[in-house]
Amino acid sequence: MTQATIVASATDFVRQKAALFSPGDVLRALGMPIVGILAFLFLWHIAAQNVATSLGTLPGPADVAHQAGNLWADYQEQQQRAAEFIAMQEERNAQILANNPDAEVRIRSFSGSVTFIDQILTSLGTVMAGFLLASLIAVPLGILVGLNRHLHQAVNPVIQVFKPVSPLAWLPIVTLVVSATYTVDDPMFSKAFITSMVTVSLCSLWPTLVNTIMGVNSVSQDLRNVSQVLRLPFLTHVWKVVLPSSIPMIFTGMRMSLGIAWMVLIAAEMLAQSPGLGKFVWDEFQNGSSESLGRIMVAVIVIGMIGLLLDRGMLFLQRLLSWDKSTATH
Amino acid sequence: MSSNKPHLELSSVSMQFPVKGGVFSALEDVNLKVTKGEFVSLIGHSGCGKSTVLNIIAGLLQASRGGCLLDGREVTEPGPERAVVFQNHSLMPWLTAFDNVELAVRQVFRKSMTKQERREWIAHNLELVHMGHAMDKRPDELSGGMRQRVGIARALAMQPKVLLMDEPFGALDALTRAHLQDSLMEIQRELNSTVVMITHDVDEAVLLSDRIVMMSNGPSATIGEVLPVPLERPRDRVALAECPDYNHCRQSVLRFLYEKQQKITPMPRQGEGQEAASGVDKRQKVLA
Ligand SMILES: Nc1ncnc2c1ncn2[C@@H]1O[C@H](COP(=O)(O)OP(=O)(O)O)[C@@H](O)[C@H]1O
Ligand SMILES: [Mg+2]
């Protein structure tokens, strides 16, 4: 190679590199998803016009967008009324205090109607609580079971049987058990919340459990040998060798669990009539007004988007916590 | 070699592995005495049972019959006084070089050293293997030779009575291997540690060892011959190439391996033959 050809191939290389990130490519990378979404909206628009239901034709994208606006407006109106209600009380209290400085005053909280946004927040809270409970059970249990072959053999049939059970089957049992056992005076959480949370945990802990066991089983023999040669005490062995080694698998399981938890929660809320997005969908279905279908579709889209965000959130957490960045993709 | 009282002793060790449809007899009646400060190599064809012997000394495997004594006490479990350098470094991939050594040092010197002393000791050992500059790198940021250096530093930092090495340089290129061999000789001379090393490289065995233990082929492998290496230390690989004693030792080992313990390997197919001819020593190829 002469000097000239080296320089030529070097500039070639630079040009190729630059081409990788050219504006055209960026547009193409963003462009295709946009094209996909537009095509979907168009097909939906066409198809919806041709499906007649007892509540009128299926709403198209425009109707759904309109309903989304309505739901947002409802929420803002409620917020406004709540603010006014509080302000009114404060004003009245101020007057009472002006007349009689020793008077006892209170502010009652506003109990307006439950809006779509409230239901979203309820569902988010419940799914997080259920998922957290599931992880708190599944990860330590998975580590214990994964470390002991006999325990694994003993527990495996139980896992295999309960893993595929649908949330709808758990729900009656959980409801009855919670009603019977959760009998504290002045409870911090409602029974409906506890029931939904426990159901979500029961259904979603299996992937985390199974993956944690697999992760612990696949700790390399070499690393276990090192631990043995060092005579690491049990807890140090778990904390310093087993846990870091299986963290990529644990995260894979937790991501699957969170996905299941979100799906299960919506179904459980629908069935049990406990507050949340599921109840919103069910209420609209029962309501049967001309706006209901559109509202249900808004809920469906929101449920999907929240599911996506939860998954991305887990991925972010995995990138943050796991040493093995190569497993934390998509 | 300072005293003749055996420091490490294998007495009539046999090893049987349970396999499908019976037992596989890997070792039969292995006897070996190693004195303090001695450097012993185990050499033999692949699959003859070298790793099994080493793992029995390490306590990672229990002999079916016979046993291993260290300073007169029977070895029943692994422990830090018998540090192992594994073939494929076995570093925790999520820890830096420093932290990998620290895991071992904290375990061994938890009570006898302050935190500051431990830090200095870790740094000292990493510098011993010329890894002082890369203490904060994780294994995936290090080359194969550097990882192996960290593995050696971790073992040395445990101040073991016996250093056990299972083909420590097997996966490295010739130049890196030569560097590490020189480092190891230097360190061993300084610390006068007892070393049992498995190798499949005849030159490496002769260069490093006080004695070469040659194993017969399995099943029921045992020690065939033991060859003392009467070469002055410090040894210099370039000067040794001309030394008659060195070449005599080399020939004895080669004769044992290729005449007395000939390994019947299937004929290489065409593709493999080309690879063997491309500058790699064919004899080593068969051994590996
Ligand atoms: N856990 C085991 N179960 C059954 N056979 C084994 C086991 N470990 C080793 N062996 C057999 O014992 C023999 C010696 O193995 P090894 O000590 O690893 O050989 P080397 O290190 O010399 O290559 C081999 O034939 C191997 O297949
Ligand atoms: Mg081996």
For residue range A136-161, list pLDDT tens digits in order. 999 999 999 999 999 999 999 999 99
Q: Which residues neighbour ligand 2 (ion) by CB within 5 Å? A: B 51
The interaxial angle of helices A116-147 and A149-162, nearest 10 deg, is 150
Q: Look at chain B and report how many structural domains it folds into.
A: 2
Which of B125, B159, B193 represents a domain boundary (last residue)?
B159
In a domain, B195, yes or no: yes
Do B225 and B240 have their domain in common? yes
Quick: pLDDT tens for B90-134: 999 999 999 999 999 999 999 999 999 999 999 999 998 889 999
Q: Is A76 on the interface with B (CB under 8 A)?
A: no
User: Which of A223, A230, A245 comes nearest B104 by C-beta?
Assistant: A230
Nearest ligand 1 atom to the CA of B19 is 4
Quick: pLDDT tens for A45-64: 999 888 888 878 888 999 99
Taking the alpha carbons at both ends of chain A, their separation in whole angstroms is 42
Domains, chain A: 77-113 (no CATH), 116-321 (1.10.3720.10)
Kindly report the pTM of this predicted structure: 0.82
Whether the upstream peptide bond of residue B234 has omega within 30° of 0, thus cis, is: yes
Secondary structure (DSSP) of A41-97 = HHHHHHHHHT-EETTEEPP-HHHHHHHHHHHHHHHHHHHHHHHHHHHHHHHHHHHHH
Cβ within 8 Å, pair A226-B86: yes
The pLDDT of residue B283 is 41
Q: How far is Cα B186 from Cα B193, in angstroms, rounded to an integer? A: 11
Do B96 and B45 have their domain in common? no
Candidates B57, B86, B111, B162, partner chain A, best to mutate (most A CBs within 10 A): B86
Lowest mean pLDDT among A261-265, B1-5, B69-73: B1-5
Residue numbers in B near A236 (CB within 8 A): 107
Q: Which ligand approaches the C-alpha of residue B167 most closely?
A: 2
Residue B2 has pLDDT above 70, yes or no: no
Do B71 and B196 have their domain in common? yes
Do B57 and B190 have their domain in common? yes
Most distant CA pair in chain A, distance:
99
What average pLDDT does the segment B68-89 reach?
Answer: 93
Cβ within 8 Å, pair B82-A229: yes
**Burial profile A220-232: b = 16 or more Cβ within 10 angstroms, e = fewer:** eeebbbbbbbbeb
Q: Is A124 on the interface with B (CB under 8 A)?
A: no
Cβ within 8 Å, pair A236-B107: yes
Query: The domain spanning residue B254 has which CATH number?
Result: 3.40.50.300
In a domain, B24, yes or no: yes
Do B226 and B258 have their domain in common? yes
Residue A85 has pLDDT above 70, yes or no: yes
% of chain B exceeding 70 in pLDDT: 89
Put residue B76 in one of left, alpha, beta given phi > 0 → left and psi -120 to 50 → alpha: alpha
Do B152 and B96 have their domain in common? yes
Lowest mean pLDDT among A272-281, A297-306, B229-238, B261-270: B261-270
What average pLDDT does the segment A97-108 reach?
Answer: 82
Residue A13 has pLDDT above 60, yes or no: no
Q: Which residues line ligand 1 (CB under 6 A)?
A: B 17, 19, 24, 26, 44, 46-52, 218
Q: With contact defined as beta carbons under 8 Å apart, do A116 and A69 qualify?
A: no
Cβ within 8 Å, pair A231-B92: no
In a domain, B27, yes or no: yes
Atom 2 (ligand 1) nearest CA: B17
Do B273 and B169 have their domain in common? yes
Q: Is A226 on the interface with B (CB under 8 A)?
A: yes
What is the best residue among B16, B17, B286 to mutate for testing ligand 1's pocket, by most ligand atoms within 8 Å of CB?
A: B17
Do B72 and B13 have their domain in common? yes
Secondary structure (DSSP) of B138-187 = -GGGS-HHHHHHHHHHHHHHT--SEEEEESTTTTS-HHHHHHHHHHHHHH
Do B169 and B270 have their domain in common? yes
Gap from CA of A202 to ligand 1 centroid (Å): 45
Q: Which of A82, A71, A81 lies closest to A117, judged by CA?
A: A71
Sheet of B162-166: strand order equals: B82-85, B162-166, B194-199, B39-43, B211-215, B223-228
Residue numbers in A near B83 (CB within 8 A): 229
The pLDDT of residue A260 is 94
Cβ within 8 Å, pair A225-B104: no
What average pLDDT does the segment A83-107 reach?
Answer: 85
3-state class (DSSP) for residue A212: helix
Q: Which has more confidence, B250 or B4?
A: B250
Gap from CA of B51 to ligand 2 centroid (Å): 4
Provide the residue range defining the domain that includes B18: 6-76+165-176+184-286
Lowest mean pLDDT among A137-151, A209-223, B2-16, B117-131: B2-16
Q: E strands, chain B, where? A: 8-19, 22-34, 39-43, 65-70, 73-74, 82-85, 162-166, 194-199, 211-215, 223-228
Do B63 and B188 have their domain in common? yes
Quick: pLDDT tens for A286-324: 988 888 889 999 999 999 999 999 999 999 999 988 888
Gap from CA of B89 to ligand 2 centroid (Å): 14
In a domain, B202, yes or no: yes
Residue A12 has pLDDT above 60, yes or no: no
The pLDDT of residue A15 is 57
Gap from CA of B26 to ligand 1 centroid (Å): 7
Structure tokens at A109: 């909280």
In a domain, B1, yes or no: no
Do B57 and B100 have their domain in common? no
* ipTM of the shown complex: 0.85
% of chain B exceeding 90 in pLDDT: 75
CA A203, A206, A210 angle in degrees (round to 5)?
175
Q: How far is Cα B274 from Cα B229, in angstroms, rounded to an integer? A: 35
Q: How far is Cα A159 from Cα A212, in angstroms, rounded to an integer? A: 13
Q: How far is Cα A113 from Cα B62, in angstroms, rounded to an integer? A: 72
User: Which of A225, A240, A245 comes nearest B86 by C-beta?
Assistant: A225
Do B69 and B189 have their domain in common? yes
Taking the alpha carbons at both ends of chain B, their separation in whole angstroms is 30
**A65: Cβ contacts below 8 Å, ≥ 6 apart:** none
In a domain, B67, yes or no: yes
Q: How far is Cα B15 from Cα B52, in angstroms, rounded to an integer? A: 8
Atom 4 (ligand 1) nearest CA: B17
Q: How far is Cα B164 from Cα B182, in angstroms, rounded to an integer? A: 17
The pLDDT of residue A323 is 86
Q: Which residue has the tokens 């965000």?
A: A309
Residue numbers in A near B158 (CB within 8 A): 230
The pLDDT of residue A182 is 85
Q: Which has more confidence, B273 or A316?
A: A316
Whether the upstream peptide bond of residue A61 has omega within 30° of 0, thus cis, is: no
